[in-house]
Each structure stands twice: as structure tokens, then as C-alpha cells.
Amino acid sequence: MTLLAQVPTGSGQPPPEPPAARSGRYRLLPYLLLLPGAAWLLVFFGVPLVQLASASLYDPSGSLSTGYAMTWAFGNYPDVLQAYWPQFLRSFGYAGVALVLALLLGYPLAYAIAQKAGRWKNLLLVCVVAPMFTSFLVRTLAWKTILSDNGALVGLLRDVHLLAPDGRLLATPFAVVLGLTYNFLPFLVLPLYASLERLDYRLLEAASDLYASPVEAFRRVTLPLSMPGLIAGTLLFFIPASGDYINAELLGTPNEYMIGNVIDSAFLVRLDYPQGAALSFLLMAAILAVVFGYLRRAGTEEVL
């Protein structure tokens, strides 16, 4: 179970301050320990971001074969925004709807595992993580089978007239949102579970002794106490969901394409690096703006 117990939650108590170095020769040791890993991250994560930033300002008329000239073409940004704002809006719209769905599904699940499952707790936790044991793409393709026009689900929905006789589930926004919700739900549930697991049930009993209704007890006790996990889980869900393009590609049509699809094709199909880089940076900036706006509203900036 160690694997499950230690899934990063992105939050949690700060570790206790380590003791001061005992003698002089320990002074350098931490730097030696950090050097290889930090260098790797700097060279292959930090430097590339700078590289991407400069690529986004290249002259857009260049190409991969003729080479790009650095012309500080800030015009790339308004250009791509003008061309692809619907995909941007759609990305955040789909990710937002999926997030609401995931919260509605994930909160009861995390709560049940943390507070109600008793000795089944570990088993249920394995069930939450288990989907990740199968390849992400293979699972997403499985949804294609489930939602297929000839499948049992579509047949049932047509029979009860929830779906028109020629109605489809696949290749609709619904399928994409369902896929997003499904794929990133465990990332929301695990940190939420970690928070709820520490919740002392006696606090709820106290609330009810003081005449709080269950709803009020939830709103004033459970919810605030689960806030760190809720915030971490929301971010771990929202960041990959808004940058995803696999669900839109496999379960949707070009009408459902998200910004990720555009970036993917800019880099790998159209080979338009300045445009792809500008879009990537806008995506990152938009996500950071959403994240920080959210954290400010949630009132816990120390999460980061």
C-alpha cells in the first residue's frame, strides 16, 4: 500500500526544519546531493521554457528547413489568439465542466473511502488507482467501444427516448467531457482522500450536538477542513485536463478540438514552430492565471 499512501498531494504540512550541519564537511554535502537532479531539471525543464519563449517570437514566415530568424515578433501572440480563441475557450469550458462533474463524483467517493469504508479502505483505494495501471490511451479507446453507435448504452438511451433514434454519444462534446472527467478523476480523489482521512469524526458529532443539520455540518466543518485536499485535487485535475488533446481527438471530432489539438498539429503537422510556441505559452499563462486567481479566492496561497 505504500505506493498509494504516498501519492503526492501537492500540499500538506511543511516538513520539520532539518538540523543544522553538524560540522564543516557537511556544508557542501546537500549541494552535491542536489547537483545532478537540479542540473537535469534546469537543463531539460528550465532552459527549454526559455527556448520556447524565444521560439514564440521568431519570424513567423520562416520554416524548419530554411531556419527561423529572431525578430521579436510579438505580433505572433495576437495572431494566434485571433485565429484560435474558440479552441481556447472550448478547452477551459470543457475542463471546467469536467471539473464540476469530477467534484460531484469524486467528493462522495473520497469521503466514503476516508470515513465510511472501515477495513475496506485499502481495497477501495486500489480500485481508484487501478485504472491507471492500464494504458491511458487504451482506456480512452475503450470509451469508444462503450459509447459506440452500436453499443448497449446508446441502444438503451434510444429505447427510453433519452436520445433521438439517430442520436449519438460518440463524437459529441458529451463524449469528450466524459472522457476528461474519467481520465483525471483519480488525481482529484487521491489528495481529497488524504485530507478527508485526517478529518476527526467527533467534530461532526459535536456539530450535530450543537444542532447543526447535516448540510450545515458539511458546509461549516467537513468542507473547510478538506480545503487543502480540495485545492490540490482541483489543480491536479484542471491543469492536465485543460491541456489535454487526446480525448478530443479520440472521442470527438474537429468541432470538439481543444487548444492542445491545435498546438499538437502546429508542432507535428504544420511544423509552424513560432505559432505552436506562442500557443503553448498562452496556454501556460492562461492556466497560471486561472490557478492563481483560484488560489487567491480560495484564500490559501501557501499551497504553492
Residues 43-62 that bind other proteins (CB under 8 A): 44-49, 51-52, 55
Mind giving me the DSSP string for 111-179? HIIIII-GGGHHHHHHHHHGGGGS-HHHHHHHHHHHT-TTSHHHHHHHHTTSS-TT--STTSHHHHHHH
Minimum distance, C-beta of residue 214 to other proteins, in the bound complex (Å): 6
By beta-carbon proximity to other proteins, the closer residue of 64 and 160 is 64
Minimum distance, C-beta of residue 17 to other proteins, in the bound complex (Å): 7
> In the set 71, 158, 172, 267, which binds other proteins (CB under 8 A)?
267
Cα angle 271, 173, 87; round to 5 = 35
42 near other proteins (CB under 8 A): yes
203 near other proteins (CB under 8 A): no
The number of angstroms, rounded, from the C-alpha of 290 to the middle of its chain's C-alpha atoms is: 12
Size of the site for other proteins (CB under 8 A): 100
> In the set 23, 65, 82, 135, which binds other proteins (CB under 8 A)?
135
Residue 273 near residue 58, CB atoms below 8 Å: yes
Rounded Cα distance between 286 and 292, Å, is: 10
Closest CA to 253 of 168, 138, 144, 172: 172
111 near other proteins (CB under 8 A): yes
> In the set 137, 156, 206, 289, which binds other proteins (CB under 8 A)?
137
By beta-carbon proximity to other proteins, the closer residue of 228 and 260 is 260
168 near other proteins (CB under 8 A): no
> In the set 89, 130, 206, 289, which binds other proteins (CB under 8 A)?
130
254 near other proteins (CB under 8 A): no
Give bridge partners of residue 70 from the DSSP assignment: 58
Cell numbers placing 8: 503526492
> In the set 57, 154, 185, 221, which binds other proteins (CB under 8 A)?
185
Rounded Cα distance between 117 and 121, Å, is: 5
